[in-house]
Amino acid sequence: MGDEDQKILVVGGGISGITAAVEAAETGANVVIVERNPYLGGRVAQLNQYFPKLCPPTCGLEINFRRIKNNPKISFFTQAEVLSLSGKPGDYSVAIQVNPRYVNDNCTACGKCAEVCETTVPNQINYGMDSVKAAYLPHQMAYPFKYVIDSKIIGTDEAVKCAQACPYNAIDLEMKPETLNIQVGAIVWATGWDPYEAEKIDYLGFGRLPNVLTSVMFERLAAINGPTGGKMVRPSDGKEVKSVAFVQCAGSRDENHLAYCSGVCCLASLKQSTYIRERVPDSKAFIYYIDIRAMGKYEDFYTKVQQDKNLSLIKSKIARITEDKESGGLLVEGEDISAGSKVSQVVDLVVLAVGMRPGTSKIRPDLEMNYDDFGFVTGSGDSGIIPAGCVKAPMEVAASLQDATAAALKAIQVAVRR
């Protein structure tokens, strides 16, 4: 493909979208990525470590960011979404709305704007577990490495103060939403997943009990750049966490919530048990599961983590989580199915392994794509809109990469066949 060839649009700049983009661009295609967040990387950027190797997420992301930086055939827009899309394979017209960041490319991330800013907003990267200044860097490894001015302070004196504090003239308070119209030959739809809303599972106490977290929040609690700087402490009182109960299938495989298995949650909890066990050597971890799903190559990871004498794996469906008044901890109750006895365990922290829902679960874009009952994209027939990654099904990073690479090939085929 040469420069004159049609573009491929990638919607969603998570690991799947980024992979599809770099794979397509490295064959010579022109690629545009549209990402809703102010940074690329999606949910992977919010992980503390990846299973099975337990390396930090920056491992995989950094390499891809470099591939993007070095490839003039890729352009990307953050804080952007598709407004409208029409056409046919080989010839789509797309309108993209790019929302203002109020910060231009002069930004060196020096942080002078944040120093004078007093207003705070919930910290999105940490799932709202803490707050950040309304002039903020999305996270320490963010790409692009540029601040954002939250729209909450636009039009106020504080925003002007931030702009005046910037030594590089990088804050532009006059920025407005822009609409870009582009022609593309094919589209990769990689809008990913959201965690299931744990507050809907009333008996597990999320939202009522401060020491009940979701698995995605626990990733942030363990992260060095997370709300506690990686310290394992209880949100209620800052006490060091000595025991954690991981509750599997929190809402999953349950007709009242998510009827399906998300496939990665058991592996995620096994991984997360190592976070607490390594940080707090005299800690105990309990995993309450229906059955552990660690297929294929992940069996070895399961076997290795299981060796830890201070990790207990208990076949159980947890029925109730309440406050233990005496210790300030949480009482986890259910049934130990293997032993035929009751589970009654007091722990400092509970982590709910919530399932993955597609980004298209609530709003299904009216495009040439088919959806199942849960909103996952099941296929797109002969259309030039090719789904990739977790918008199709829950999957881990390795599977997302494979799927995205396949999607890139299909997109190239559609674009050259036009």
Ligand X SMILES: Cc1cc2nc3c(=O)[nH]c(=O)nc-3n(C[C@H](O)[C@H](O)[C@H](O)COP(=O)(O)OP(=O)(O)OC[C@H]3O[C@@H](n4cnc5c(N)ncnc54)[C@H](O)[C@@H]3O)c2cc1C
- Interacting residues toward ligand X by CB under 6 A: 11-17, 34-37, 42-44, 47, 50-51, 81, 190-193, 215-216, 219, 264, 268, 271, 356, 359, 389-390, 395-398, 400
How near is the Cβ of 356 to ligand X at its closest, in Å?
5
- The answer to whether 334 and 318 have CB atoms below 8 angstroms apart is yes
Those residues whose C-beta lies under 8 Å from the C-beta of residue 256, and which sit 6 or more positions away, are none
CB of 252 to ligand X, least distance (A): 11
Alpha helix stretches (DSSP H) within 166-264 = 215-222
Please provide residue 128's backbone torsions phi and psi, each rounded to the nearest 5 degrees. Answer: 70, 15
User: Considering the complex, what minimum distance in angstroms separates the CB of residue 71 from ligand X?
Assistant: 19
Interatomic CA distance for residues 278 and 291, integer angstroms:
25
Tokens of 341: 């006895």
- Residue 74 CB, shortest distance to ligand X, in Å, is 16
Within 13 Å and on the Cβ side, how many CA atoms surround 18?
Answer: 23
Closest CA to 269 of 241, 243, 302: 302
| CA gap 360, 104 in Å, rounded | 31
Shortest separation between residue 228's beta carbon and ligand X, angstroms: 18
CA distances for 171 relative to 100, 108, 152, 159, 165, angstroms: 11, 11, 15, 9, 9
Nearer to ligand X, 113 or 377 (CB): 377
Indicate the residue among 125 and 216 with the shorter CB distance to ligand X. 216
What is the distance between the alpha carbons of residues 239 and 252, in angstroms, rounded to a whole number?
Answer: 30
In this structure, which amino acid lies at residue 279?
A: R
Cα torsion 149, 150, 151, 152 to 10°: value is: -130
Q: Which is nearer to ligand X, 212 or 331 (by Cβ)?
A: 212
Cis before 52 (ω within 30): yes
**3-state class of 410 per DSSP?**
helix
Minimum distance, C-beta of residue 328 to ligand X, in the bound complex (Å): 26
Closer by beta carbon to ligand X, 126 or else 158: 126
CB closer to ligand X, 215 vs 383: 215
Closest C-alpha to 5, from 182, 184, 163: 184
Please, which residue, 219 or 348, has the CB nearer to ligand X?
219
Q: Which is nearer to ligand X, 286 or 298 (CB)?
A: 298
CB nearer to ligand X: give 190 or 412: 190
For the CB of residue 355, give the shortest distance to ligand X in the complex, in Å. 8
What is d(CA 277, CA 322) in angstroms, rounded to the nearest whole number?
24
Find the shortest distance in angstroms from Cβ 98 to ligand X: 11
Residue closer to ligand X, measured from CB, 280 or 397 = 397
Q: Distance of alpha carbon 297 from its chain centroid, rounded?
A: 23
Kindly tell me which of 108 and 225 has the beta carbon lying closer to ligand X. Answer: 225
Tell me how far apart the alpha carbons of residues 153 and 286 are, in angstroms, rounded to a whole number: 44
Q: Residue 190 CB, nearest distance to ligand X (Å)? A: 5
Q: Which lies closer to ligand X via its Cβ, residue 162 or residue 351?
A: 351
Q: What gap in Å lies between CA 96 and CA 94, rounded to an integer?
A: 6
Rounded to a whole number of angstroms, the minimum distance from the CB of residue 197 to ligand X is: 13
Q: Cβ of residue 350: shortest distance to ligand X, in angstroms?
A: 14
Q: Do strands 193-195 and 212-214 pair parallel, antiparallel, or not at all (unpaired)?
A: unpaired
- Residues 6 or more apart in contact with residue 196 via CB below 8 angstroms: 250, 251, 252, 257, 258, 354, 355, 356, 357
* Nearest by Cα to 279 from 340, 328, 349, 365: 349
